[in-house]
Amino acid sequence: MTTQDGFPKQQVAWTIALAALTNFMVSLDNLVVATSLPTLHQDLGGDASSLSWAVNAYTLSFASLILTGTTLADRFGRRRVFSIGLAVFTVGSILCAVSPSMSFLIGARVVQGIGGGIVLPLTLALITSVTPPEQRGKAIGIWGGVIGIAVASGPVVGGAIIQGLSWHWIFWLNVPIGVAVILLSQARVPESFGGSRKIDPVGLLIATSAVLLIVQALIRGPERDWTDATILGGLIAGPILLGCFVLWEQRVNEPMINLSLFRNANVSAGCVSNFILNAGMFGPAFLLTQYIQLGLGNSPIEVGVRLLPWTALTLLISPFVGELADKIGERYLVTIGLLLPGIAFVWIGTDMSDAAVGYSSLWLPLLCAGVGTAIAFPSVSSAVMRSVTPQQAGMASGSSETFAYVGAVFGVAIATAWFAASGNYGSSASMAEGVGPALLAIGILSLAGAIIAVLVIRQQKMAAPENDRPFETAG
């Protein structure tokens, strides 16, 4: 039996399942490593800066390679480049597992990040290439649901592995999964292309350099002076290079990204919403994990359990939201998905403006944020991916995921900077003095995103507007 697009249903099911499993593995890895930093310090040594780079090295290489991976995949085949990226991620995991020192681990995390940056956006592109527009929301809902599993289980899984086995197994577990997905994807996932366009090396270099400069500045800014030449230079030169990239893409015959995509309101608003959604997810997660553990005296596993009202709902709600988006479109779903976390973090931030609060004051707003996040994750991705043709899926997913990852780094950066300006780790009260204003600021950002969504996103249930001509399909 086949779908109306001609793909056997079994092939579609395998594509969605393998893309979701890969999404889970790549997303979980960064969260688990963050919880293992104290153990890594005891075993491998290193100061606070080197420990932070065990996380940041992955983030930096990941964010910088997203557009490169999707561009190469459109030209040479998404399944082929997906498998190569996953092989790089798996090799990086092996190198991480056998790391004899912190400096070796940081280098291995760069390799992991390169593979992850290539793979993650292609999971969306592969799903889009095999699903008809009217069923795409449901498929993306399943894809988004596994993010909830990764976020919810990250601290718990990390704590359990470290306490029951050792930190090395955080990375060893990726190896059999990676090998299995590579083999199964070659047998079960159809190949797809974004067109027979030539690679634009100049555009690729400009775009990658721009993202690299911006992300490194956001990562390093909180631990250094924001007026440092390398930080300030990155924040200035990065956007300038992005402007140069736009000008260059308008001049070349075969651009790396078809800028006409961004004339579609759903693509543009979806990318901005993805930035705000991830800033509003990772910034608060960075602060609240520390506050619940250090300020309220909980173990890493207990922290994971106490965050479940916020993190676990994505698994339960997102697949149903995806189906709903197939019926009614994404405008109001994205709006509600950003509105609820905004209300939640303004709520917590206002409570913390007076004094430290216990967990009894956190669980209800966290539940509110969890419902919103569960609605937003599939809706934002669906708003972008339903608005493009399968041939444009690589460009669209690469652009959207770049916005998402830069948003995540931005959220952690502003959360860290705001905390450092107002609070410290001396006591739960002094931590609250920094956490409260930071969450208030992030909550306001989420509310602004909700306003953008309701004003800009169109209620659209079909694939692409009539004036968006699909690219020529290769192969």
Task: Please compute the mean of the pLDDT values over residues 304-315 and round it to a whole number.
Answer: 77
pLDDT in tens, 401-451: 778 877 877 887 788 788 877 777 778 888 888 888 889 999 999 999 999
- For the whole model, what pTM was predicted? 0.76
What residue ranges in 300-365 does DSSP mark as E strands?
none
Find which of 35-44, 167-176, 377-386, 424-433 is predicted with most confidence, using mean pLDDT. 167-176
Count Cβ atoms below 10 Å from residue 180 Cβ, excluding itself: 12
Structural domain boundaries in the chain: 9-199+256-456, 200-255
Which residue has better confidence, 466 or 63?
A: 63
Separation CA 440–CA 437 (nearest Å):
5
The model's confidence at residue 4, banded by pLDDT at 50, 70 and 90, is: very low
User: Are the CB atoms for 377 and 310 separated by under 8 Å?
Assistant: no
Nearest to 369 by CA among 294, 296, 285, 290: 285
* Residue 314 C-alpha from the chain's centroid: 14
111-115, 205-209, 376-380, 463-467: range with highest mean pLDDT: 111-115
3-class secondary-structure state, position 264: coil
CATH number of 9-199+256-456: 1.20.1250.20
20: left (phi over 0), alpha (psi -120 to 50) or beta: alpha
The stretch 6-32 carries a mean pLDDT of 79
- What are the structure tokens assigned to 178, written together? 């990676």
Q: What is the mean pLDDT of residues 9-20?
A: 84
Q: Is 178 exposed, middle or buried (0-12, 13-18, 19+ CB in 10 A)?
A: buried
The answer to which of 148-157, 279-288, 376-385 has the lowest mean pLDDT is 148-157
Structure tokens at 46: 């290193």
Distance CA 398, CA 122 (A): 8
Q: Which of 24-38, 64-78, 222-236 has the lowest mean pLDDT?
A: 24-38
Positive or negative CA dihedral for 348, 353, 359, 361?
negative
pLDDT of residue 52: 67
pLDDT the model gives residue 290: 76
| pLDDT given at position 89 | 94
Residue 170 pLDDT > 80 = yes
162 versus 86: the higher-pLDDT residue is 86
* Residue 169 pLDDT grade (very low, low, confident, very high; cuts 50, 70, 90): confident
Q: CA angle, 204 as apex, 201 and 208 as ends, to 5°? A: 145
Q: What is the pLDDT of residues 205-260, one digit of tens each?
A: 888 888 788 877 877 776 777 788 888 888 899 889 988 888 887 787 777 677 77
Look at residue 49 in the predicted model and tell me its pLDDT.
59
Q: How many CB atoms lie within 10 A of CB 87?
A: 16
Range of weakest confidence among 22-26, 31-35, 187-191, 352-356: 31-35
Check residue 270 and give its pLDDT. Answer: 83
Contacts of 145 (CB under 8 A, 6+ apart): 20, 314, 315, 316, 317, 318, 319, 377, 378
Q: How far apart are CA 233 and CA 220, in angstroms?
A: 12
What is the pLDDT of the chain when averaged over all its residues?
79
